[in-house]
Chains A and B, each alone.
Chain A
Amino acid sequence: MSDPVPKPTIALIIDDEVQIRRLLRLTLEANGYKVFEAVDGQSGLLEAGQRRPEVVLLDLGLPDMDGLTVLKRLREWSRVPVVVLSVRDQEEDKIAALDHGADDYVTKPFSTGELLARLRVAQRHTQPTPETAVFRSGEVAVDFVRRVVSRGSQEVKLTATEYSLLALLARHAGRVMTHRQLLTDVWGPNAVEHTHYLRVYVAHLREKLEADANQPKLLITEAGVGYRLIEL
């Protein structure tokens, strides 16, 4: 890697709509990506094998096979970050994709800024970063080593469960975490149906961390899917 110019990130777009592919290609190329396209699931998997993309944009509605199937096949041999393109009213599909290893999703129609942000977050998680001891977002800081959370200069008292939840979200900051992922990690696999745990603890966390708990800026609800901790 002696090349001084930053090597462009290779992105693979798997979508059957030519207009979407064209727009995505323009957007991504303008932002320093090298773009490959595939029009269906089969060729998408083939391209993924050949081009070794660093990020994949996968449409859930493909003509030849279910987007979820493509994702599962891909995950059999690759840990490449995948961002799913979906439409409204596909919450179940989104959740299934996330639970099967997709890194994030965007809902059509989406803005360019939103898409690029998601892609960046998704890529970062696969890059071997030095373990950051402290996560910061706006006024809030989470010290993973000392297990201490502070807001501004004030230390915030959290219960053990509240801390576990917050730490989990912070480690995946910027990324959506599904209810199932959160419940399994914090409460164990038997608790996946108990979404009311999450509602209660998220409300507690907001009370303690947000400037206005009724208008949260940090801990965001993704309707029907899960939660996301924003890096401010």
Chain B
Amino acid sequence: MNERTRPNPDVLLAAIQKTEADRQRGRLKVFLGMSPGVGKTFAMLEAARRELAAGREVVIGYVETHGRKETDALTQGLPAIPRRTVEYRGVTFTEMDLDAILARRPQLVLVDEFAHTNAPGSRHPKRYQDVTELVAAGLDVYTTLNIQHVESRAEAVRQITAAAIRETVPDTALDGAEFELVDLTPEELRARLAAGKVYLGQAAQAAQENFFRPGNLAALRELALRFAAEHVGQDVLAYRQAAGIGDPWKSGQRLVVAVGPSPTSAALVRWTKRLAGELQAPWYAVYVELPQPLNPSATARLAKNLTLARELGGQIIHTTDAAVARGILRVAREQNATQLVVGKPLSTSWLDWLRGGSLLDQLIRLSGNIDVHAVRAEGETGPFQRPEWPRFDSFSFQGWGLAVGVVAGVTGLNGLLQHQLGYQSLALVYLFSVVALAMFVGRWPTLLAATLTALLWDFLFVPPVFTFRISETTDLMLFLTYFAVALAMGHLAARLRAEQTAERRREERATALYLLTRELANATDFTDLLAIIIREVGKTFRAEVAINLPDEAGTGGLTRYFASSWAMSEKEEGVADWAFRRQQPAGRSTDTLPSAEGLHLPLLVTDRIGGVLSLRFREAAELDSAQRDLLEAFVRQIALVVDRQRLRTTVQEAKLLAESERLSKALLNSISHELRTPIAAITSASSGLVDLGEAENPALRRVLTGEIRTAATRLNRLVGNLLDMTRLESGHMKLRREWCDLADLVSVALRQLERELTRHVIINQLPPGLPLVQIDFVLMEQVLVNLLLNAALHTPSGTRVTISAEVSPKDIAIIVADNGPGIAPEALPHLFDKFYRAPGAAAGGSGLGLSIVRGFVDAQGGQVSAQNRHGGGAEFTVRLPLQAAPPSLEANE
């Protein structure tokens, strides 16, 4: 196969996944127009009628005809979902009823005005989000859109028409959509407008003079045509990739745009999106957080810019650094970026000279093989805003005070020292004080101290004294050098401090994450894990936390974990449920149901969702970007851990299943053999008896009946063992504990085994006067019987079997020992396992006896162990806990 045309497997995989996803998703078709009045709704309705005629189920979700007759006529015969009315501050709005449409599940829904903003209190703030939900639910949707409402084109439209665009739709909402351009020449549109087909009366007149000027319309038309053409281009590209035609990525380019709180950043983001679209390249928006905190309005602008970048399809990267240029380049290198987009500075500041050049200069100097685009970014609102001046918070005031104090003190000291040292050396004392000061106070107080000391030195000590004049050239040189060095030192020291602060922030973040990870690693089980998550997230974000896990019954719903610290209301549960079903964040500070009290974040690992983490913050303020970033990191970590736990559970279940399968197989094998042997014996012996004539061969008759009896005893014992096993496994074993005499117990067990133990020498070495123990007599009898039978079965005849007991303050041990061949070392660890039979064990055991021993002893709080004796032979020890002595006998003697 030709190497050049072979499709990239990753691209193919993505294509297959997309096809899979598309099969479940509905199709979105957008009727795109350059402006209102081109007939988008009309075209959409016509297309819908064709679909209806073709036999599809079409309903009107929301169509606005603006009272136009032709359009009205087209809606006839199309079923419409009744609109929902929303009351907000006394005004009634009618909105599309999303739930009613989802409940009805038609094949095709018509939704007019894609960019519409929903009334407050709706599920989504924007209608395009409603549509996205419909499409995700598998419904096909037709919608209408004007080019001015497309996010990436809004800036261009604003420049053309000077009209502010409020309702915009992010380009990502249009991904995968099919476009039909509803085109009209500007002349035709103006004719329609004049005929009153678009706006009525006075409004038409005003519109014609403002928005609908011929020049505007021509430019808007070009924008719309180009936008539609670009999307056709994307479709072609997708097709080419799927078919393996050509190189999917033109150049392997990766773009990084620097984003800050400045309003110009939005334009930069749009520019980058356009470039990335043309290059077919992925792009990243980087924000570098400086040690100085942003004021609230800057924080809000930054959040807006980052949201814009996210909506336009960029990936957001947040980093902390003391220097912007360094932070940007670090991220760019991490992301293997090839191109960097920054704003062109509008003015240069003298401070830039101190900083080692403007941001752009630094980037160009340090960027190495990364291309830098300096884009002239136009502010969207108002004039360029100066960067924030350093804030005079309480710490700074202390810094200023300290600086002045130190300068005064050192000046006094110099006054004392001037006769000993000479005025030139005094400069060094000043310099030392400035450097020392820089370690403790900020940049600006240090610079003040540098300036003050330079002037004071000149004024007080350099001859002629009490003037600023400097007569000697060397003194002038010294003064200038001193001034430069002091400034530089102050600057450097301050930068060091700033870097330390940035480092500390990064470290705090890393520490918080590390602590979470460590705590999570300490969890002993799932319950513990959930408790840790609730505690740690609650502590770090000062929030009440609820964890919602998928229903165990697998109904696809959510159940709130009972020990959550936030008892969510029914409404919040609804929001969490939405987040779960759609696998998207919902609630406060998101696009979905922002009016909710809490923030609901899905715990996603690739495509698996492990639940929803819900938070209600104790403080009303929005999270700043660093916190948001940390929360995202937390959620990722938690999702991983929850997912891993779930996988582990699945694996364990599978293991248990396999184990139980193995056991039932062993059971069948063992039981069928164990049952068949005595049955065979009984059958053959009894048929032998039938064949024997009356009173013939009495000796043989006795042997045969004896065989039957032995086999029956064995069968009976096996059934008894199976019953005991069942009783143990059922977990409902009822203990009848009572005070028992071990000597009595042993005598009962020995009596029961009289026949079985005839070939062995039984030595009863129980010491007299053993304390009474509280046990279930019948169970313990069975334990002893099984141990004795085990000894009888696995040792040759004539073997001595000794029963003894040892008492310690805590427990009493019953020991059954023999001087037989002992236990094979490899068999020791498995001796008490169910159906385990030691290699080469004598026939007749079922592998159940010892496991029942262990089960019964465990049930009574005791322990059983086996070992080989020093002198040869096996030894089984049953330890039973000793309780307080029984209540003393009443003295009725």
Physical interaction between A and B: yes
B279 on interface, CB distance cutoff 8 Å: no
The reply to whether B747 and A216 contact each other, CB–CB distance below 8 Å, is yes
List of B residues within 8 angstroms of A159 by Cβ: 893
Which residues between 767 and 786 of chain B lie within 8 Å of chain A, taking CB atoms? 772, 777-778, 781
How far apart are the CA atoms of A69 and B160 in the complex, in Å? Answer: 100
Among B712, B743, B890, the residue within 8 A (CB) of A214 is B743
For this complex, 22 residue pairs linking A to B, each with C-beta atoms less than 8 Å apart, are A89-B778, A91-B778, A92-B736, A109-B712, A160-B892, A187-B890, A194-B887, A196-B887, A196-B889, A197-B889, A199-B739, A199-B772, A200-B741, A202-B744, A203-B744, A214-B743, A215-B747, A215-B751, A216-B747, A221-B747, A224-B736, A224-B778
How far apart are the CA atoms of A220 and B772 in the complex, in Å? Answer: 18
Q: Which residue on chain A has the smallest CB distance to residue B781?
A: A223
The reply to whether A213 and B743 contact each other, CB–CB distance below 8 Å, is yes
B867 on interface, CB distance cutoff 8 Å: no
List of A residues within 8 angstroms of B723 by Cβ: 88-89
List of A residues within 8 angstroms of B740 by Cβ: 199
List of A residues within 8 angstroms of B764 by Cβ: 214-215
Q: Known contacts A89-B723, A91-B778, A215-B747: does B772 contact A196 (CB below 8 Å)?
A: yes
B596 on interface, CB distance cutoff 8 Å: no
How far apart are the CA atoms of A160 and B890 in the complex, in Å? Answer: 13
List of B residues within 8 angstroms of A161 by Cβ: 892-893
B716 on interface, CB distance cutoff 8 Å: yes
Which residues between 729 and 755 of chain B lie within 8 Å of chain A, taking CB atoms? 736, 738-741, 743-744, 746-748, 750-751
The reply to whether A223 and B893 contact each other, CB–CB distance below 8 Å, is no
Q: Which residue on chain A has the smallest CB distance to residue B803?
A: A214
Which residues between 59 and 102 of chain A lie within 8 Å of chain B, taking CB atoms? 88-89, 91-92
The reply to whether B748 and A200 contact each other, CB–CB distance below 8 Å, is no
How far apart are the CA atoms of A221 and B777 in the complex, in Å? Answer: 11
How far apart are the CA atoms of A224 and B745 in the complex, in Å? Answer: 10
| Closest-CB distance, A189 to chain B (whole angstroms) | 14
**Supplied contacts A187-B890, A214-B766, 10 more A-B pairs, CB within 8 Å:** A91-B736, A187-B892, A195-B738, A196-B886, A202-B741, A203-B743, A220-B751, A221-B748, A223-B777, A224-B777
List of B residues within 8 angstroms of A196 by Cβ: 738-739, 772, 886-887, 889
Q: Scoring A residues 205 to 222 as 1 if CB is less than 8 Å from chain B, else 0, what string do you get?
A: 000000001111000110
List of A residues within 8 angstroms of B738 by Cβ: 195-196
List of B residues within 8 angstroms of A200 by Cβ: 741, 772, 889
How far apart are the CA atoms of A213 and B750 in the complex, in Å? Answer: 13
Among B716, B739, B743, B778, the residue within 8 A (CB) of A223 is B778
| Closest-CB distance, A156 to chain B (whole angstroms) | 16
Which residues between 554 and 611 of chain B lie within 8 Å of chain A, taking CB atoms? none
Which residues between 253 and 274 of chain B lie within 8 Å of chain A, taking CB atoms? none
The reply to whether B741 and A203 contact each other, CB–CB distance below 8 Å, is yes
Which residues between 862 and 893 of chain B lie within 8 Å of chain A, taking CB atoms? 886-887, 889-890, 892-893
Central interface residue in A199, A200, A203, A216, by most chain B CB within 10 Å: A199
How many Cβ-Cβ contacts under 8 Å join chain A to chain B?
A: 63
| Closest-CB distance, A178 to chain B (whole angstroms) | 13
| Closest-CB distance, B748 to chain A (whole angstroms) | 5
How far apart are the CA atoms of A223 and B783 in the complex, in Å? Answer: 13
| Closest-CB distance, A70 to chain B (whole angstroms) | 24
Q: Which residue on chain B has the smallest CB distance to residue A197?
A: B889
B727 on interface, CB distance cutoff 8 Å: yes
List of A residues within 8 angstroms of B716 by Cβ: 109
List of A residues within 8 angstroms of B277 by Cβ: none
Chain A contact residues, CB within 8 Å of chain B: 88-89, 91-92, 109, 159-161, 187, 191, 194-197, 199-200, 202-203, 213-216, 220-221, 223-224
B844 on interface, CB distance cutoff 8 Å: no
B720 on interface, CB distance cutoff 8 Å: yes
Among A91, A109, A160, A194, the residue within 8 A (CB) of B893 is A160
| Closest-CB distance, B801 to chain A (whole angstroms) | 14
List of B residues within 8 angstroms of A221 by Cβ: 744, 747-748
| Closest-CB distance, B539 to chain A (whole angstroms) | 53
The reply to whether B741 and A199 contact each other, CB–CB distance below 8 Å, is yes
| Closest-CB distance, A129 to chain B (whole angstroms) | 30
How far apart are the CA atoms of A197 and B764 in the complex, in Å? Answer: 24
How far apart are the CA atoms of A160 and B764 in the complex, in Å? Answer: 31
Which residues between 836 and 865 of chain B lie within 8 Å of chain A, taking CB atoms? none
The reply to whether A214 and B741 contact each other, CB–CB distance below 8 Å, is no
How far apart are the CA atoms of A203 and B747 in the complex, in Å? Answer: 12
List of B residues within 8 angstroms of A88 by Cβ: 720, 723
List 6 tightest A-B contacts by C-beta distance, closest first.
A196-B739, A224-B778, A196-B886, A199-B741, A195-B738, A214-B764
List of A residues within 8 angstroms of B744 by Cβ: 199, 202-203, 221
How far apart are the CA atoms of A202 and B889 in the complex, in Å? Answer: 13
How far apart are the CA atoms of A91 and B744 in the complex, in Å? Answer: 18
Q: Which residue on chain A has the smallest CB distance to residue B764?
A: A214
How far apart are the CA atoms of A224 and B752 in the complex, in Å? Answer: 14
List of A residues within 8 angstroms of B777 by Cβ: 223-224
| Closest-CB distance, B722 to chain A (whole angstroms) | 11
List of B residues within 8 angstroms of A89 by Cβ: 723, 727, 778
How far apart are the CA atoms of A224 and B744 in the complex, in Å? Answer: 12
| Closest-CB distance, A171 to chain B (whole angstroms) | 20
How far apart are the CA atoms of A91 and B778 in the complex, in Å? Answer: 9
List of B residues within 8 angstroms of A216 by Cβ: 747
How far apart are the CA atoms of A220 and B750 in the complex, in Å? Answer: 12
How far apart are the CA atoms of A187 and B891 in the complex, in Å? Answer: 11
The reply to whether B748 and A223 contact each other, CB–CB distance below 8 Å, is yes
How far apart are the CA atoms of A213 and B742 in the complex, in Å? Answer: 12
List of A residues within 8 angstroms of B739 by Cβ: 195-196, 199
The reply to whether B746 and A214 contact each other, CB–CB distance below 8 Å, is yes
Which residues between 701 and 732 of chain B lie within 8 Å of chain A, taking CB atoms? 712, 716, 720, 723, 727
Q: Scoring B residues 453 to 471 as 1 if CB is less than 8 Å from chain A, else 0, what string do you get?
A: 0000000000000000000
Q: Which residue on chain B has the smallest CB distance to residue A194?
A: B887
Q: Which residue on chain B has the smallest CB distance to residue A89?
A: B723
| Closest-CB distance, B560 to chain A (whole angstroms) | 44
List of B residues within 8 angstroms of A214 by Cβ: 743, 746-747, 764, 766
List of A residues within 8 angstroms of B743 by Cβ: 203, 213-214
List of B residues within 8 angstroms of A91 by Cβ: 736, 778
How far apart are the CA atoms of A214 and B892 in the complex, in Å? Answer: 27
How far apart are the CA atoms of A224 and B736 in the complex, in Å? Answer: 9
List of B residues within 8 angstroms of A160 by Cβ: 892-893
Q: Which residue on chain A has the smallest CB distance to residue B740?
A: A199
List of B residues within 8 angstroms of A92 by Cβ: 736
How far apart are the CA atoms of A104 and B513 in the complex, in Å? Answer: 74
How far apart are the CA atoms of A223 and B740 in the complex, in Å? Answer: 10
List of A residues within 8 angstroms of B746 by Cβ: 214
How far apart are the CA atoms of A194 and B747 in the complex, in Å? Answer: 22
How far apart are the CA atoms of A142 and B744 in the complex, in Å? Answer: 23
Q: Which residue on chain A has the smallest CB distance to residue B762?
A: A215
| Closest-CB distance, B712 to chain A (whole angstroms) | 7
List of A residues within 8 angstroms of B720 by Cβ: 88
The reply to whether B741 and A215 contact each other, CB–CB distance below 8 Å, is no
How far apart are the CA atoms of A137 and B874 in the complex, in Å? Answer: 40
How far apart are the CA atoms of A197 and B888 in the complex, in Å? Answer: 9
Which residues between 219 and 235 of chain B lie within 8 Å of chain A, taking CB atoms? none
How far apart are the CA atoms of A223 and B777 in the complex, in Å? Answer: 7
List of A residues within 8 angstroms of B747 by Cβ: 214-216, 221
How far apart are the CA atoms of A160 and B893 in the complex, in Å? Answer: 6
The reply to whether B772 and A215 contact each other, CB–CB distance below 8 Å, is no
How far apart are the CA atoms of A214 and B763 in the complex, in Å? Answer: 11
How far apart are the CA atoms of A175 and B699 in the complex, in Å? Answer: 36
Central interface residue in B723, B743, B746, by most chain A CB within 10 Å: B743
How far apart are the CA atoms of A109 and B708 in the complex, in Å? Answer: 13
Q: Which residue on chain A has the smallest CB distance to residue B886?
A: A196
How far apart are the CA atoms of A96 and B739 in the complex, in Å? Answer: 20
| Closest-CB distance, A223 to chain B (whole angstroms) | 5
How far apart are the CA atoms of A161 and B891 in the complex, in Å? Answer: 10
How far apart are the CA atoms of A159 and B890 in the complex, in Å? Answer: 14
List of B residues within 8 angstroms of A203 by Cβ: 741, 743-744
How far apart are the CA atoms of A88 and B782 in the complex, in Å? Answer: 11
Which residues between 170 and 224 of chain B lie within 8 Å of chain A, taking CB atoms? none
